[in-house]
């Protein structure tokens, strides 16, 4: 390789290009775009999220519909649709990418830029929001195909999607907190275990009234019970303020724990210890 002589003209030109802070919103869009681009390149991470809800919907309805519908007034397909959505969105994150960034040093490369530190997390979460919305669509379509009708109408479908998205953000702050705190991919994978009690110790198979014994007690304390209550009300009841409020209270209870946890982990990670 031979050095080319200095070109004063070129030098003047590009010296004019100067760095500045891009701003909070642009940082989120930039990093969110990067996180979104990673999704199709990492299909193995979303295939389960695409298959699992459809599978559970088919199996639960297939196995339990006849038994469950002996309960008066229960439309079991409508009852199961929010469960399928719950499976489609809960714990579907880019936290695995974040933890790889931390391990591989790309997180540091980003931290060297003047990027807003909060955007380093929110970029991923915005991408998650887009992803979980997209993952919910086939589930809702399947529901509509098998005859589930929304009493709350088309707007209710959007509200249903929005609640699922907000729930996903609140829950997913937990794997991000683990990723940021530990920087350890195995720990992030293990955080998936939390999915089991959260999504199964609730009204996942039968309504709350039909539960007995310890299960009846536990579901009262699981915020997801109220989330499902709100989402189901949009299908079977229409717009019921108290049910929707219960859903947001459930999400809020989780967010009250998970969001500060994620912020604490983020601040710890970028604090320059």
Partner 1 sequence: MTLRKVLPVPEYAVETQKLRRSFDNLIAVDGIDLQVASGEIYGFLGPNGAGKSTAVRMLTTLLMPTSGTAFVAGHDVVRDPVGVRLRIGAALQDAALDPKQTGLELLRLQGRLYGLSGRDTATRISELESLIEIGDAIKRQVGTYSGGMKRRLDLAASLMHNPEVLFLDEPTTGLDPISRSRVWDEVRRINRELGVTIFLTTQYLEEADALADRIGIITHGQLAREGTPDELKRQIGTDVIVARIEGDALAAKRAVENIDAVEAVDVYEEEVSIRVANGASFISAVALALNAASIHVRELTLRTPTLDDVFLSVTGGRFQQQEAIDEEKAR
Residue numbers at the binding site for partner 1 (CB under 8 A): 1, 3-4, 6-7, 10-11, 13-15, 17-23, 26-27, 30-31, 33-34, 37-38, 41-42, 97, 101, 104-106, 108-115, 271-273
- Those residues whose C-beta lies under 8 Å from the C-beta of residue 139, and which sit 6 or more positions away, are 53, 54, 57, 81, 84, 85, 88
Judged by CB, which is closer to partner 1: 8, or 72? 8
Least gap, CB of 8 to partner 1 (angstroms): 10
Judged by CB, which is closer to partner 1: 15, or 147? 15
Judged by CB, which is closer to partner 1: 27, or 243? 27
- H/E/C letters for each residue in 223-235? HHHHHHHHHHHHH
Query: Are 171 and 91 spatial neighbours (Cβ–Cβ below 8 Å)?
Result: yes
Residue owning tokens 């642009």: 26
DSSP string, 145-180: HTT---TTHHHHHHHHHHHHHHHHHHHHHHHHHHHH
Write out the two tokens for 225.
């019970």
Q: How far is CA 252 from the centre of its chain?
A: 14
Judged by CB, which is closer to partner 1: 112, or 196? 112
Judged by CB, which is closer to partner 1: 65, or 96? 96
* 150 φ, ψ (degrees, to nearest 5): -90, 115
Least gap, CB of 101 to partner 1 (angstroms): 7
- 3-class DSSP assignment, residue 30: helix
Least gap, CB of 197 to partner 1 (angstroms): 32
Least gap, CB of 121 to partner 1 (angstroms): 15
Residue owning tokens 């829950």: 171
């Amino acid at each position: 390789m031979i050095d080319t002589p200095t070109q004063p003209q070129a030098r003047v030109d590009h010296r004019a290009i100067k760095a500045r802070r891009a701003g909070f919103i642009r940082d989120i869009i930039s990093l969110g775009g990067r996180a979104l681009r990673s999704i199709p390149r990492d299909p193995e991470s979303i295939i389960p999220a695409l298959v699992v809800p459809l599978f559970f919907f088919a199996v639960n309805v297939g196995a339990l519909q006849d038994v469950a519908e002996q309960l008066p007034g229960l439309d079991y397909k409508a009852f199961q649709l929010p469960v399928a959505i719950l499976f489609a969105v809960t714990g579907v994150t880019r936290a695995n990418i974040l933890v790889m960034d931390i391990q591989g040093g790309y997180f540091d490369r980003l931290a060297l830029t003047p990027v807003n530190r909060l955007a380093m997390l929110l970029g991923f979460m915005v991408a998650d929001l887009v992803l979980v919305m997209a993952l919910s669509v086939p589930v809702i379509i399947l529901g509509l195909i098998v005859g589930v009708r929304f009493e709350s109408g088309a707007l209710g479908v959007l509200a249903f999607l929005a609640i699922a998205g907000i729930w996903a953000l609140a829950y997913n702050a937990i794997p991000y907190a683990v990723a940021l705190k530990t920087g350890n991919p195995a720990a992030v994978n293990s955080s998936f275990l939390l999915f089991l009690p959260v999504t199964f110790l609730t009204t996942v198979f039968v309504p709350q009234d039909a539960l007995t014994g310890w299960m009846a007690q536990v579901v009262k304390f699981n915020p997801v019970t109220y989330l499902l209550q709100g989402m189901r009300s949009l299908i079977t009841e229409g717009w019921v303020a108290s049910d929707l409020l219960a859903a947001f209270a459930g999400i809020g209870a989780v967010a009250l724990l998970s969001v500060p946890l994620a912020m604490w982990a983020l601040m710890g990670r970028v604090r320059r210890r």
